A and B are shown apart, each in its own frame.
Chain A
């Protein structure tokens, strides 16, 4: 699928076929997409643990569920639990940055060398930063980027997906993750029971409310010609709710025996 169409068709899918398994190779492709995402200082904070829902002991699955996400967790055949490992900076001491120097990604043209990493970047920037209370926020930003790549890959492969929170204590029991890891979100993956449009593109705040130019309060001017172009490219698609959405949901509710 064309990238522009892909980001235009992605939705948070909340109705999965609970009995249709996801092919292992598709799960791997999601993880591969996550691994190659952009990441500051090549730290790679992001970790993920894949679990087939059917393999989760029922009592743990009950514990894992969050009150407002429980049904998604119950329906999705595959759960990808995402974590942030904050220890990578101190464990790797800049060595992953030096890999970028060796790979020709960071070059002397921009002030980079092995010595610069060892003498300055690690001891004076990264190491102190790793003790800052805002450090996990930076790291989580990159983990989110990696997760988004995985999410888009899922849709590219004909799957549906939705992020949810999860009960972190139950997950720790199930997954045995190191104490230092910070739980993020779970990507719930499966074959969607919703139509491809899934009711249409979800409501978002006005463009001008979110994006600014030059200075806060000065909205980035939205060119209608560009909007039209993106509509033609299927990035911007018909807004929700599309006609027939309620009927679609009611049909799924009946099929799965859900409340209406």
Chain B
């Protein structure tokens, strides 16, 4: 599944980019384009675009409409990240890097995704 538009046009990717720039300075996504490439590959792997990946991690309370992070869905995404890492092959460090790039995208979009739980 290809993305319907350039990956940088997605709102969650813009949020990621902003978060990285504020955290580290410079423009990490421009300096390390492999991060975007990894995210695109992950999206392809799970059959969702970036905004859908983030949206999947949250639900809304029926009564109040309040948004909350879903534990079950986070666990599901975590399992998909693990599988994505395993499917990528390469060295252990390269695999960890791929996993971390996807986690970074989720973390900057407010998803609880600390390494050590995935």
List the interface of chain A (C-beta within 8 A of B). 65, 67-75, 246, 250, 253, 257-260
**Would A246 and B116 count as touching, CB distance under 8 A?**
no
Q: How many A-B residue pairs have CB under 8 A?
A: 46
Complex: how many Å from CA A250 to CA B23?
10
Asked whether any CB of chain A lies closer than 8 Å to the CB of B36, the reply is no
**Which of chain B's residues have a CB closer than 8 A to the CB of A69?**
114
Complex: how many Å from CA A259 to CA B97?
8
Complex: how many Å from CA A253 to CA B103?
13
Complex: how many Å from CA A10 to CA B112?
27
Complex: how many Å from CA A74 to CA B28?
27
Query: Which residue in chain A gives the minimum CB-CB distance to B96?
Result: A257
Complex: how many Å from CA A65 to CA B118?
11
**Would A68 and B114 count as touching, CB distance under 8 A?**
yes
Sampled A-B contacts (29; CB under 8 Å): A65-B116, A65-B117, A67-B114, A68-B112, A69-B114, A70-B114, A70-B116, A70-B117, A71-B114, A71-B115, A72-B116, A74-B115, A74-B116, A246-B24, A246-B25, A250-B24, A253-B100, A257-B93, A257-B97, A257-B99, A257-B115, A258-B100, A258-B115, A259-B100, A259-B103, A259-B107, A260-B20, A260-B28, A260-B100
Q: Please classify the interface of chain B as helix (H, G, I), strand (E, B), loop, or mixed, using the class held by over half of its residues.
A: helix
**Would A260 and B115 count as touching, CB distance under 8 A?**
no
Extra contacts, 12 of them, besides A65-B116, A260-B23, A260-B104 (Cβ < 8 A), are A65-B117, A67-B117, A68-B114, A70-B114, A71-B114, A73-B116, A74-B116, A253-B100, A257-B96, A259-B107, A260-B20, A260-B24
**Which of chain B's residues have a CB closer than 8 A to the CB of A71?**
114-116
Indicate whether A67 sits within 8 Å of B107 (C-beta atoms), given known contacts A250-B24, A257-B93, A257-B96.
no
B20-42 CB contacts (< 8 Å) to partner A: 20, 23-25, 28
B77-98 CB contacts (< 8 Å) to partner A: 93, 96-97
**Which of chain A's residues have a CB closer than 8 A to the CB of B104?**
259-260
Complex: how many Å from CA A250 to CA B28?
12
Query: Which residue in chain A gives the minimum CB-CB distance to B117?
Result: A70
Nearest-Cβ distance from residue A186 to partner chain B, whole angstroms = 14
**Which of chain A's residues have a CB closer than 8 A to the CB of B100?**
253, 257-260
The listed residue with most A CB atoms (<10 A of its CB), out of B20, B99, B112, B116, is B116
